[in-house]
Amino acid sequence: MLETIDWSAPWLAPWRTRGEAVAHSVRSGMAQPEALNQAGLAPVCFVPQSELPGGVAYEKYIFDTRRVPTRDGLHDFFNGLVWHEFPLTKQRLNALQAAQIERTGIQPVRGPARDALTVFDENAALLQAPDALWQALVDKDWQRLFGDLRPLWREAHLLLFGHALMEKLVAPRKSMTAHVYRVLVDDSSLDSMDAWLAQDLSADKLATKPFAHLPVLGVPGWWAGNEDPGFYRDASVFRAPRT
């Protein structure tokens, strides 16, 4: 399914250079784990999914072996790209998951910490933005966020991080929503964001669910339809805050 990726989509711009190269290798016949291994200097080795032993937790296996079981397809493809571009953050998330598994074992229901770690890994987007923009997002004040403060988006930087989120956006729909995590570092380079996140993330902090919810196609410049103010009046997507 890698041929279905539209690399001109604005949300894929930071991932395009490496991503197109890996996708080309896979389409040319190379196994996806091998293509990911050739793509850069990730701190892990990508291996076929069949190498994951039965009964062993995926996150614990990665932590113990530095090998990432990888299936064909979009989901693990984007996961591999994130390992390349955010190696410190991915290692931090993996270490936090492994510590939770060591502490509680594998339970039928994930606890709040493991649940939040998974949400971040799968569905997070990273936002650098002025205070007013962030507060409007937290408040779900959509008119202020995308109307009154629309020019302020030129000072903001939103980056997709979650690989499941990127997978879903290969076939974009208006309702697709990211769990947005605010990044408090001025430099928007991936290296700077990676270093900051690796220091900032903790299981306790994530368990408090420090996320804001953003329908990503509402971001100015990301979807032609949102130039019409009526785009944001769809209450089934741009929902009012809970009281």
pLDDT in tens, 144-171: 999 999 999 999 999 999 999 999 999 9
Q: With 80 as the cut, is the pLDDT of residue 128 above it?
A: yes
Q: What are the backbone dihedrals phi and psi of residue 122, each rounded to the nearest 5 degrees, phi first?
A: -90, -35
User: pLDDT at position 165, please?
Assistant: 98
Q: With 70 as the cut, is the pLDDT of residue 109 above it?
A: no
Q: With 80 as the cut, is the pLDDT of residue 60 above it?
A: yes
- Long-range pairs of 116-119 with CB within 8 A, sequence gap ≥ 24: 116/203, 116/206, 116/207, 116/208, 116/209, 117/93, 117/203, 117/206, 119/179, 119/206, 119/211
- Rounded to 5°, the CA angle 228-7-80 comes to 120
**Model confidence over 175-220: pLDDT tens digits?**
999 999 999 998 999 999 999 999 999 999 999 999 999 999 999 9
Whole-angstrom distance, CA of residue 66 vs CA of residue 70: 13
Provide the token pair at 115.
Answer: 């649940």
Q: 156 and 130 in contact (C-beta within 8 Å)? A: yes
Average pLDDT along the chain: 95
pTM for this structure? 0.95
Q: What are the backbone dihedrals phi and psi of residue 211, each rounded to the nearest 5 degrees, phi first?
A: -110, 150
